[in-house]
Structure 1
Amino acid sequence: MVVDNHSDDATARIAGEHADTVLVEGPERSAQRNAGIRAANGEWVLWLDSDMVLPPDAVESAVRTAEQEGATGVALPERTIGDGFWTACRALERECYLDEPWLHNPRLVPRDYLLGDGGFHLEMSGPEDADLRMRMLREGRSIALAPVIVDHDEGRLTLPDVLRKRYYYGRSIPAFASQHEGAVGAQGRTVLRSYLRHRGDLARDPAHAAGMVLMRGLEAVGYAVGARRGARDRRQAASSGGPA
């Protein structure tokens, strides 16, 4: 099943040649995912973004992991692939997270759970996966790690691209923080611990490690500026009687 957000290229036509179902939904990916969940009819839902590539046995392995471990959600760890210096910096960063279960968001979840829990938060675009993880953990649900690696093809990253994306994600941080007190800080501390645990790997690749530090610093700026804008938007929506 493919859910397209009103693309102005040939995405919908190409998807129609390969997918069983093609939906056109928007305005953002939380709404798109919720539409896909409602239209699905299987026991499990596994969602991917358009720049992700699954190994051949990923779905079978994820479902088997859920059944063997009695988990409500299953995360599929990711690694970054692509070209260029900044993409290599991102790849090095992601390698630090592969053995940190708390940082992996579920990607395979029972459809009934998603329907009953309301699915993805419509006010979030970026942190919606972490929001789902935090809700599941708060309810005492278990999230297991499947023994597979998803390739996340980020192309050729540039610093302006990274800043724009983090600004966009940052606009959802106030909504996320309002739902999960202290979660933003806890996420940051866990990330820093993962870097410390992998300091040997970073030391063996000093050029990309330095680039990673610079990129993460710029991302923090993008998040902060985006969060300011998001907080302002929420205040304006509240004062006008719209959804906060």
Structure 2
Amino acid sequence: MSGGPTSDEQRPMVSVVVPVKDSIRTIEACLRSIRAQTWPSVELVVIDNFSTDGTWEIVQKYAHHAEQAGPERSAQRNLGIERAQGPWILWIDADMELPPTIIERAMHTLEEEGADGVFIPEITVGDGYWTACRALERLCGIEEVWVQSPRLVPRDYLLRTGGFLESLSGTEDAELRTRMALDGYSLAWIPDLIIHDEGEMSLQFILSKRYYYGRGLKKYRNEHPGALSTQAGRALGAYRKHWRRLAAKPHVAAGVVFMRAGEFIAYGAGAAVGALDRSEAST
């Protein structure tokens, strides 16, 4: 295990890895927020999946290392991890923004707690009713670390264990969390929030993503039996614990319940189709 930095004076480099594809709406705010960090040693690595909307031109203005490759975000992240120079990897998406002190807080927390990685919660912003539902759902889970992602991770660990599983889509972050826990890594948590600008989401968009993610659920279950039910239990526990947050916005809370039920069905449908596809491929 890697442990945190031994002193503030060392200031080890943090390499921020961002996969991107056609993200012109959010990419500049994302990259500006990374370059504005108070931690003095930050490297920005961006892997662009051949964007055609002007994203690539913006990436080249801000990134220390910019490269074009695909096919999906896990492969892009893994390439970014290979290209990174720092001993610590912070991975985010192209529609996220970092408050200016968040890396500094995370690095100090590593040292103070002797941790091997850091959970950093996120909060959703955007327009429309369903985006408000997603925002309220995330708000209920901010303090529940086992529904968060370990965003700050030792680069050597990722290289040694294969990085993000490229056979997964949507559950690769949960798989990393479970893998690190099973490997005995100590993960700290900070209250600082990553801002996730999800725009104006529709229910159809939300459910179609969950259907797509569901197609890889069997692979995740095979890798980590019982992890999905544990995560679901933690999420339900967070809703019960923070029922007052839900009760304060009853019309939005009703949407959260409806949305989560729909997501459960979409995950199941995707998992069934994914299992059928693999069965046909093996015959």
Q: 1:16 aligns with which of 60, 63, 81?
A: 60
Whole-angstrom CA distance in 2 between matches of 1:33 and 1:229: 27
Q: How many residues align?
A: 239
User: Partner of 1:92 in structure 2?
Assistant: 136
Q: Distance in 1 between matches of 2:282 and 2:144?
A: 37
CA drift of 1:237 comes to 3.9
Moved over 4 A (4+): none
2:159 aligns to what?
Answer: 115
Q: Matched residues in 2 for 1:20 and 1:51: separation?
A: 19
Q: Secondary structure at the match of 2:150?
A: coil
Does residue 221 (structure 1) correspond to residue 221 (structure 2)? The answer is no
CA positional deviation for 1:102: 1.6
CA RMSD of superposed structures (Å): 1.1
| 1:46-195 matched pairs, under 5 angstroms | 46-195=90-239
SS of 1:224 mapped into structure 2? helix
Distance 2:98 2:184 in 1: 28
Q: 1:184: Cα distance to partner?
A: 1.0
Q: Which amino acid aligns with 2:122?
A: E
Tell me the equivalent position of 2:32.
none
1:88-133 CA distances to partner (integer Å, 9 max, x unpaired)? 1111111110111121110111111111111111101110011011
Contiguous gaps of at least 5 residues in structure 1: 240-244
Quick one: distance in 2 between partners of 1:6 and 1:233?
A: 28
Q: How far, CA to CA, are the matches of 2:173 and 2:184 in structure 1?
A: 17
SS of the equivalent of 2:156 reads helix
- For 2:185 and 2:277, how far apart are their aligned partners in 1? 33
- Deviation (angstroms), 1:236: 3.5
Residues 58/237 of structure 1: CA separation in 2 closer, same or farther (3 Å cut): farther
Aligned counterparts of 2:163 and 2:108: Cα–Cα separation in 1: 23
Task: Give the Cα–Cα distance (whole angstroms) in 2 for the partners of residues 237 and 107 of structure 1.
Answer: 35
Secondary structure of the 2:71 match is coil
Paired letter, 2:156: D
Q: Percent identity?
A: 51
129-138 vs 6-15, greater mean Cα deviation:
6-15
Amino acid at match of 1:132: L
SS in 1 for 2:99: coil
How far does residue 148 in structure 1 lie from its aligned partner after superposition? 1.0
Aligned counterparts of 2:242 and 2:46: Cα–Cα separation in 1:
37
TM-score (norm 2): 0.82
- Corresponding residue for 1:26? 70
Give the gaps of 5 or more residues in structure 2.
1-44
Normalising by structure 1, we get a TM-score of: 0.95
1:101 and 1:145 in contact (8 A); partners too: yes
